Amino acid sequence: MALGPRLDLRQSQSLVMTPQLQQAIKLLALSNLEIEAFIGEALETNPLLEAGEIRLERSATADDGREDAPDDPTADQLIARAQGEADSPLDIDPDALDRDRDTGDWSAQPSAALSDEDGPDIFERGDDEPTLAEHLAAQVGAASPDARTEFVARHLIGLLDEAGYLTVPLREVAGDLGIALAEADEALAVVQSLDPTGVGARTLSECLALQAKEADRYDPCMERLIDNLDLVARGEFARLKRMCDVDDEDFADMLAELRGYDPKPGLRFGGGGREPVVPDILVTPGPKDGWNVAVNEATLPRLIVNRRYYVELRDGCHDKASKSWLGERLADANWLIKALDQRQKTILKVASEIVKQQDGFFRKGVSLLRPLTLRAVADAIEMHESTVSRVTSNKYLHCDRGMFELKYFFTSGVASADGEGAVSAEAVKAQIRALCDAEDPSDILSDDQLVDLLKEKGFDLARRTVAKYREAIGIGSSVQRRRQKKLRMAG
**Kind and range of the H or E element at 380?**
helix 374-381
The per-residue pLDDT for 202 is: 92
Q: Are residues 115 and 136 located together in one domain of the fold?
A: no
Classify residue 127: in a domain, yes or no.
Answer: no
**Closest of 122, 452, 471 to residue 300, by C-alpha:** 122
Which residues form the domain of 307? 19-122+278-405
Q: Are residues 46 and 136 located together in one domain of the fold?
A: no
Residue where a domain stops, chosen among 248, 268, 288: 268
**Kind and range of the H or E element at 35?**
helix 32-45
Q: Give residues with Cβ within 8 angstroms of 41, minimum separation 6.
A: none
Classify residue 4: in a domain, yes or no.
Answer: no
pLDDT (average), residues 393-403: 85
Q: Are residues 150 and 108 located together in one domain of the fold?
A: no
* Ramachandran angles phi, psi of 154, nearest 5°: -65, -35
The per-residue pLDDT for 353 is: 94
Q: Give residues with Cβ within 8 angstroms of 451, minimum separation 6.
A: 461, 462, 463, 466
Q: Are residues 219 and 294 located together in one domain of the fold?
A: no
Handedness of CA 152, 153, 155, 161 (dihedral sign): positive
The pLDDT of residue 96 is above 60: no
Angle between helices 147-159 and 181-192 (to 10 degrees): 70
pTM of the model: 0.49
Q: Are residues 149 and 209 located together in one domain of the fold?
A: yes
Classify residue 313: in a domain, yes or no.
Answer: yes
| Banded pLDDT at 45 (limits 50, 70, 90) | confident
> DSSP alpha helices (H): ranges in 373-441?
374-381, 385-391, 425-438
Classify residue 459: in a domain, yes or no.
Answer: yes
Question: Which tens digit of pLDDT belongs to each residue from 104-159?
Answer: 333 333 333 333 333 334 334 444 567 888 888 888 887 888 877 888 888 899 88
The per-residue pLDDT for 53 is: 60
The per-residue pLDDT for 297 is: 78
Residue where a domain stops, chosen among 340, 375, 405: 405
Give Dmax (Cα) for the chain.
100
Question: Which tens digit of pLDDT belongs to each residue from 366-381?
Answer: 667 788 888 889 999 9
* Ramachandran angles phi, psi of 403, nearest 5°: -105, 130
Classify residue 357: in a domain, yes or no.
Answer: yes
| Banded pLDDT at 325 (limits 50, 70, 90) | confident
Q: Are residues 98 and 163 located together in one domain of the fold?
A: no
Coil/strand/helix, residue 131: strand
The pLDDT of residue 429 is above 70: yes
The CA distances from residue 448 to 215, 260, 391, in Å, are: 18, 21, 40
Distance in angstroms (rounded) separating the CA atoms of residues 184 and 193: 14
Work out how many domains the chain is built from and give that number. 3
Q: Are residues 316 and 367 located together in one domain of the fold?
A: yes
Classify residue 33: in a domain, yes or no.
Answer: yes
Q: Are residues 202 and 325 located together in one domain of the fold?
A: no
The pLDDT of residue 418 is above 70: no
Q: Are residues 286 and 376 located together in one domain of the fold?
A: yes
Long-range contacts of 369-378 (CB under 8 A, 24+ apart): 369/409, 369/411, 369/424, 369/426, 369/427, 370/411, 370/424, 371/411, 371/412, 371/413, 371/414, 371/422, 371/423, 371/424, 371/425, 372/409, 372/410, 372/411, 372/424, 373/410, 374/410, 377/350, 377/353
Cis peptide before 110 (omega within 30 of 0): no
Residue where a domain stops, chosen among 405, 428, 456: 405
Q: Are residues 205 and 244 located together in one domain of the fold?
A: yes
Distance in angstroms (rounded) separating the CA atoms of residues 164 and 204: 11
| Banded pLDDT at 63 (limits 50, 70, 90) | low
Classify residue 288: in a domain, yes or no.
Answer: yes
The per-residue pLDDT for 80 is: 46
Question: Which tens digit of pLDDT belongs to each residue from 263-275?
Answer: 888 888 765 444 5
Classify residue 11: in a domain, yes or no.
Answer: no
Report the chain's C-alpha Rg in angstroms.
30
166: which strand partners? 160
Check: CB of residue 27 under 8 Å from CB of residue 321: no
Distance in angstroms (rounded) separating the CA atoms of residues 295 and 341: 11
Coil/strand/helix, residue 423: strand
Q: What is the CATH number of the domain that holds 451?
A: 1.10.10.60
**Could you tell me the end-to-end alpha-carbon distance of the chain, in angstroms, rounded to an integer?**
94
Q: Are residues 374 and 313 located together in one domain of the fold?
A: yes
Distance in angstroms (rounded) separating the CA atoms of residues 414 and 431: 13
Q: Are residues 139 and 261 located together in one domain of the fold?
A: yes
